[in-house]
Amino acid sequence: MATTERDYYELLGVSRDASEAEIKKAFRGLARELHPDVSDAPDAQERFREVVEAYEVLSKSETRELYDRYGHAGLRSGGFQPGHFDLGSLSDLFAAFFGDDLLGGRGGGRTRGADLAAAIEIDLVDAARGVKREVPFEVAVPCSRCGGDGAEPGSEIVTCPRCGGAGRLQHVSRSVFGEFVRTQACPTCGGSGRTVEKPCTVCSGAGRILEERRLDVEIPPGIHDGQRIRLTGEGHAGTLGARAGDVYVQVHVRPDPRFVREANDIFSNVDLTMTEAALGTTLAVETLDGEEELELAPGTQPGQIVVLRGRGMPVLQGFGRGDHRILVNVVVPRHLTEEQRRLLAEFESHSHEGTYKAEEGLFEKLKSMFLG
């Protein structure tokens, strides 16, 4: 890699007495403009390297002093080798300035760990109360033998010779349509820009190993089926110390045969016999909070809905609860004995219109007022 003989201050567009902050700012702007991921200009990569080199020299007081005094020759005699920065430090700059995003999370040595998904299933009643559950998942963690760099202890890590540490290769092809530049991750180093002399025997050079992990997850009351809980930083380890990914725990709420849930409301049915409905009764019904005595007035009608206010599902991360609505179903006898048939017939002979007449609602009252 040819080292530039251009003036470093000129390259960054700063004066010779520029402060550290000014140099940083200038580099930040130029890097944004020239990074091969961003710029399509054919000389962008070359210019980018020059700018990085200039920054590398001017951002450190020792090399800057050397350069100020003796110029490029001073740096060379001082052992500075431009173009040989290991890409770790280059992408560290980017991670520090722009987050990993500019490098697309691929090209740099430092890459944030991947997110991972786990799933658990809980009962509706637990979803109502909130519950703590242990969630198992497999996570990539830094290998303890190599400390995450993938190299067998004692062996060297070198800048990838194929991509020169960039982690990516550009293929330029010319055709009648023009010039195409295709960028791909370097197959030799897998995009890290570094290769190891001898891969770590435990992780085979990956720097990370899979580990079974269990975490207690607090499931908040009111969670809905399919919702995810994020466990920040508990996912796969990043490379070269970059931050770990997140774990997304998908919560499946098992349907409860006793209830139907709709948003925060709960629906259920209760069966009354014809006589219970007519005479009124007290019976036990299932609720989210357990069995409950329900009083039903004489003359309860099929299709009537009894509302237990505030007895539905809790509002997730909010206040209060939905309602529990109980639909009354009245069952009519299907198989009568002779005696029962006789009694019902007798009952019917004692009935008249008033026996079945509903209490007048507001609408009926208005109607009879107008229609007489």
Query: What residues line the site for Zn ion (CB under 5 A)?
Result: 143, 145-146, 160, 162-163, 186, 188-189, 200, 202-203
Length of the chain counted residue by residue: 372
Phi, psi (deg, nearest 5) at residue 266 = -120, 135
Residue 153 beta carbon to Zn ion: minimum distance, rounded to whole angstroms:
9
**What pairs with residue 139 in β-bridges?**
211
Q: Closer CB to Zn ion, residue 165 or residue 222?
A: 165
Q: Answer for the pair 323, 309: CB distance below 8 angstroms, yes or no.
A: yes
**Amino acid identity, position 256:** D
DSSP letters along 253-284, please?
EEPPTT-EEETTEEEEEEEEEHHHHHH-EEEE
Q: Closer CB to Zn ion, residue 158 or residue 215?
A: 158
Residue 229 beta carbon to Zn ion: minimum distance, rounded to whole angstroms:
31
Residue 167 beta carbon to Zn ion: minimum distance, rounded to whole angstroms:
6
Q: Longest Cα pair distance anywhere in the chain, in angstroms? A: 122
Residue 166 beta carbon to Zn ion: minimum distance, rounded to whole angstroms:
7
Q: Closer CB to Zn ion, residue 129 or residue 162?
A: 162
Q: Answer for the pair 236, 140: CB distance below 8 angstroms, yes or no.
A: yes
Residue 115 beta carbon to Zn ion: minimum distance, rounded to whole angstroms:
22
Q: Closer CB to Zn ion, residue 74 or residue 147?
A: 147
Structure tokens at 188: 């030799």
Residue 198 beta carbon to Zn ion: minimum distance, rounded to whole angstroms:
11
- Per-residue CA distances from 17 to 20, 58, 264, 339 (Å): 9, 11, 66, 113
Structure tokens at 47: 């210019």
Q: Closer CB to Zn ion, residue 160 or residue 219?
A: 160
Q: Answer for the pair 146, 153: CB distance below 8 angstroms, yes or no.
A: yes
Q: Closer CB to Zn ion, residue 186 or residue 251?
A: 186
